Amino acid sequence: MQNVSFYQKLSLFQRQEGQISAQASKTIDMNATTAINIAHVGVHYRTQEALRDVNCIVKSGRLTGIFGPNGAGKSTLMKAILGLVPVSSGSVLYQNKFLTQQLEKVAYVPQRSQIDWTYPATVWDVVMMGRVKKTGWLRSFSAVSRQVAKNAIERVGMSEYGDRPIGELSGGQQQRVFLARALAQQADIFCFDEPFVGIDQKTQTVIFEVFHELAAANKIVLVVNHDLGESITHFDDLILLNRELIATGSRQQVLTEENLHLAYNGKVMYFSDAA
Ligand SMILES: Nc1ncnc2c1ncn2[C@@H]1O[C@H](COP(=O)(O)OP(=O)(O)OP(=O)(O)O)[C@@H](O)[C@H]1O
Ligand SMILES: [Mg+2]
């Protein structure tokens, strides 16, 4: 069933692709474009090779998705970019310097399963944590920081929940709070790992709206996702992985039958034949 639904989603995508490609071009100042340069990145977990020789560029002003099957190394690539797992080869540069030396420019929301939802913090506490890098732990938050946090909470529609412990919120509300924390960081680079898992439609809409606003503001927005359904049409650029880079470039360049066949080990062809 899982594979049938995958094929159905793919067909839906292919039908919609033509309709929305006209909206895809965005006006950005190309002179101001910055990029993360990922060169020859490999990652090993003990003896297991999780990623091999990944080369790609993540540009500002674009919404970029990392796609691929379970265990493809999507989260590993994001963690390698952020220095959260050591690379066994290669480098990740931003503006000609190692990105790991400029992590104050990055906001990262990890995969849901990696967040401790029992941690005794309110919505306000979580979002204010996003201001720590700007303010420092030992100094009290400025009026500016409070206003930035307030605006971020408002942007994701969580103003009424400021005093709520995060553990008491729905999955969608929790994801919106972490999005607000990322916004409060006022970063240049935004990284989200599977932000659409376990959330409601309203939250998905809010998250994509914010992603598009960030891209329009010429930020780098990098999102791990696995859903090949219609939501993929929100992405400008894709990085398609399966332990190594299968394809990268614009959504239209990457989403070919051949690339999907390679990434998903032939499952697309199999169900295409069966249809
Ligand atoms: N900390 C770890 N120690 C050992 N192996 C790991 C570790 N983290 C990931 N792996 C392995 O590395 C491979 C890639 O994992 P990763 O979590 O990056 O994949 P993914 O594409 O994000 O998968 P998913 O869609 O399930 O989130 C998998 O085989 C996984 O089991
Ligand atoms: Mg993952």
pLDDT digits (tens, 9 = 90+) for 129-140: 999 876 665 566
Return the higher-pLDDT residue of 219 and 143.
219
The CB of 226 under 6 Å from ligand 1? The reply is: yes
CB atoms within 10 A of CB 85: 18
Residue with tokens 């809010």: 206
Domain residue extents for the chain: 2-120+188-274
Cα-to-chain-centroid distance, residue 51: 18
Question: Of 195, 183, 188, whose CA–CA distance to 225 is shortest?
Answer: 195
Confidence check: pLDDT of 13 > 90: no
The CB of 76 under 6 Å from ligand 1? The reply is: yes
- CATH fold of 2-120+188-274 reads Rossmann fold (3.40.50)
Band of pLDDT at residue 210, cut at 50, 70 and 90: very high
Which residue among 46, 74, 245, 265 has the greatest number of ligand 1 atoms within 8 angstroms of its CB, and so is best to mutate?
A: 74
The CB of 130 under 6 Å from ligand 1? The reply is: no
Helix, strand, coil proportions of the chain in percent (round to 5)? 45, 25, 30
Mean pLDDT confidence for 219-230: 93
Mean pLDDT confidence for 25-48: 81
Return the higher-pLDDT residue of 27 and 176.
176
Helix (H) or strand (E) holding 42: strand 35-45
Long-range contacts of 231-234 (CB under 8 A, 24+ apart): 231/196, 231/204, 232/13, 232/65, 232/67, 233/13, 233/16, 233/17, 233/20, 234/63, 234/208
pLDDT 10s digits, 105-119: 999 999 988 888 888
Return the higher-pLDDT residue of 18 and 141.
141
* Ligand 1 atom closest to the CA of 76, numbered from 1: 18
On the 0-12 / 13-18 / 19+ scale of CB atoms within 10 A, 14 is exposed
pLDDT at residue 273, rounded to an integer? 27
Band of pLDDT at residue 252, cut at 50, 70 and 90: very high
Q: Residues near 257 by Cβ (< 8 Å), separated by ≥ 6?
A: 268, 269, 272
pLDDT 10s digits, 171-193: 999 999 999 999 999 999 999 99
Degrees, nearest 5: CA angle 139-159-165:
70
pLDDT at residue 11, rounded to an integer? 37
Give, as one character, the DSSP assignment of residue 140. P
Q: Residues near 228 by Cβ (< 8 Å), separated by ≥ 6?
A: 6, 9, 10, 13, 67, 260
The CB of 68 under 6 Å from ligand 1? The reply is: yes
